[in-house]
Amino acid sequence: MSTAATADASSSGDTTEGSVRLLTLQSEDGEVFEVKETIATQSVTIKGMVDDDCATSTIPVCNVTGRTLAMVIEWWNKHEIGAVSNEKELKEWESQFDTIDDKSDRDDVYDLLMAANYLNIPTLLDCCTSAVAEAIKGKSTDEMREFFDIKSDFDEKEEDALRKENQWAFEN
Amino acid sequence: MSGMLELPEDCIAAVISFTTPRDACRLACVSTIFRSAADSISFGTASCIRSRTLDQSPVLRRSATSIASFWLDRPSGKICYMISPRELYSVCYDCTELWQIYPIDIAHYHFSIPDCRFPGVLIRFDVISFEVGGKISTSLLSPMTTYTAYLVFAEGLIFCRDDAPAKVAVGLARSTNGLNRTIYLHRVHLDGDDDGFFPKRRADGWLESELGEFFNGGDEEGELSMTMKTCWKENLLIQGIEIRPKKE
């Protein structure tokens, strides 16, 4: 995506644009992104690195693909102070994460969750977790399994016991 | 593409914390990882549910994961907490700091205690007078609920004088209408005495002593303070202070 454009920057890793310092992030699959420090420090992990002076060279973002990292950066840009004029506009933009009935949307949200967890981005983590929680509202356990694409790993006895213990949750 | 199963348990716990208690129980039946995430949702995620607007001190959130643990009472769906030894405060009137936090594996080795929710236990070694207590914000508790607070400790105090009871109090911090009671730690509850004066044996093998009750109306935000003052006890091993809805 932006590999070529930033190849130059990745060699020094610590460039400035005007007075704003730029950080270089590299995704798991090798894509390189340049991000303003003021924006990237929405990630607590990156902020810690900057504070400890460990962000002078390219920062590897393991477990996160370039595609996902691009989405994360879009998130940061939208959530930079002053980037969006009002709260309502931001909420509208965030609402695109709310409908995840589609399998591909779901995968995106899982990837974002993974990235938000690794980079420790509280706002993104909250948005994704609440979107997933919203999507499974009122679903039965079997429907939840289908939604998460998970098979039960309880044995029959265990599952019976669990259902008994949580009986009240299965009554409508 | 990553699936839900590849997510760390923390993330799954965070998802569960955004659901209703009913959904959370159904989620717990999905698979083993969901069950363990549902069973022990960390304090940090608990504070997320309370305020959807994210707190500005995520570092605190992070380090808070070992401070207290929270779960939902079934079937009421009300929130329960256990405050860990690290979050308890302790005062020694003899001015020597004799409280110690023991890592759980060492405590297991020395004192053969039952399994524990936290990575450490609090131990008091001497016999002089002391106070121990904890605090929790009422905003973290379910509204319109009467809670009971318990001190959870291990059986087997080496030295324990019968005539040295413990004074316990539960109430809003800085308020004077806290409830004061007297309890005894020295012998386990027997059939017949149901006034909460003596410790009861818990399902997890620990003992618990009732510190008092508190009605959380939900309209007033404050800090609930729970304390115990006593003396002449040796080898008092504390797992934490548990707050759960009073059984009707």
The 10s digit of each residue's pLDDT in A67-85 is: 999 999 998 988 887 666 6
B117 and B223 share a domain? Answer: yes
Q: Stretch A141-151: mean pLDDT, rounded?
A: 87
B230 and B163 share a domain? Answer: yes
Instruction: With CA atoms as reference, report the closest residue to B48 among B80, B23, B11.
Output: B11
Q: Which of A12-16, B39-43, B70-74 has the lowest average pLDDT?
A: A12-16
Confidence of residue B8 (pLDDT cuts 50, 70, 90): confident
B124 and B54 share a domain? Answer: no
Q: Stretch A117-125: mean pLDDT, rounded?
A: 87
B32 and B90 share a domain? Answer: no
CB contacts of B10 in chain A (<8 Å) are 117
Cβ-nearest to B11 among A117, A122, A149 = A117
Cβ neighbours of residue B238 under 8 Å, at least 6 residues apart? B85, B88, B121, B122, B123, B124, B132, B151, B152, B153, B154
In this model, does residue A97 exceed pLDDT 80?
no
Q: Which of B63-67, B73-77, B239-243 has the lowest average pLDDT?
A: B63-67
B116 and B175 share a domain? Answer: yes
- A149 and B52: CB-CB below 8 Å? no
In this model, does residue A172 exceed pLDDT 80?
no
B104 and B16 share a domain? Answer: no
The 10s digit of each residue's pLDDT in A17-76 is: 557 789 999 999 999 999 999 899 999 889 988 888 887 888 888 889 999 999 999 989
Residue B54: the pLDDT is 29
- A136 and B14: CB-CB below 8 Å? no
Q: Stretch B26-48: mean pLDDT, rounded?
A: 66
**In chain A, domain spans:** 3-151
In this model, does residue B49 exceed pLDDT 60?
no
In this model, does residue B57 exceed pLDDT 70?
no
Averaged pLDDT of chain A: 80
- Give the burial string for B165-201 (b: 16+ CB within 10 Å, else e): bbebbbbbeeeeebeebebbbbeebeeeeeebebbee
B132 and B233 share a domain? Answer: yes
In this model, does residue B20 exceed pLDDT 50?
yes
Q: Which of A67-71, A99-103, B80-84 has the lowest average pLDDT?
A: A99-103
Instruction: With CA atoms as reference, report the closest residue to A33 among A68, A76, A69, A78.
Output: A69
Helices B21-28 and B32-39 meet at what angle, rounded to 10? Answer: 140
Q: Stretch B33-47: mean pLDDT, rounded?
A: 59
Residue A104: the pLDDT is 79
Q: Label residue B220 exposed, middle or buried (CB < 10 Å: 0-12, 13-18, 19+).
A: exposed
Confidence of residue A11 (pLDDT cuts 50, 70, 90): very low
Confidence of residue B47 (pLDDT cuts 50, 70, 90): very low
**B234 in any annotated domain:** yes
**B78 in any annotated domain:** no
- pTM beyond 0.80: the answer is no
Instruction: Report the distance separating Cα B27 and Cα B19, nearest Å.
Output: 9
B142 and B37 share a domain? Answer: no
**B50 in any annotated domain:** yes
B211 and B130 share a domain? Answer: yes
Q: Stretch B73-102: mean pLDDT, rounded?
A: 73
B66 and B90 share a domain? Answer: no
Chain B nearest C-alpha distance from A154 (Å): 6
**B77 in any annotated domain:** no
CATH classification at residue B106? 2.60.120
Averaged pLDDT of chain B: 73
Which amino acid makes up residue B19?
T
Residue A171: the pLDDT is 63
Cβ-nearest to B14 among A125, A139, A162 = A125
Residue B139: the pLDDT is 79
CB contacts of A130 in chain B (<8 Å) are 18, 52
The 10s digit of each residue's pLDDT in B231-240 is: 777 778 888 9
**B61 in any annotated domain:** yes
- How many domains does chain B divide into? 2
CB contacts of A51 in chain B (<8 Å) are none
CB B103, CB B121: distance < 8 Å: no
Residue B148: the pLDDT is 92
Which domain-ending residue is among B29, B53, B72?
A: B72
B100 and B124 share a domain? Answer: yes
Q: Label residue B77 exposed, middle or buried (CB < 10 Å: 0-12, 13-18, 19+).
A: middle
Q: What is the ipTM of this complex?
A: 0.75
Q: Please tell me which residue, A86 or B139, carries the higher pLDDT value.
A: B139
Mean pLDDT is highest, among A76-80, B7-11, B38-42, B147-151, for B147-151
Domain enclosing residue B18, as ranges: 4-72
Closest chain B residue to the Cα of A138, Cα to Cα: B23
Residue B94: the pLDDT is 56
Residue A29: the pLDDT is 92
Residue B242: the pLDDT is 92
Confidence of residue B150 (pLDDT cuts 50, 70, 90): very high
CATH superfamily of A3-151: Potassium Channel Kv1.1; Chain A (3.30.710.10)
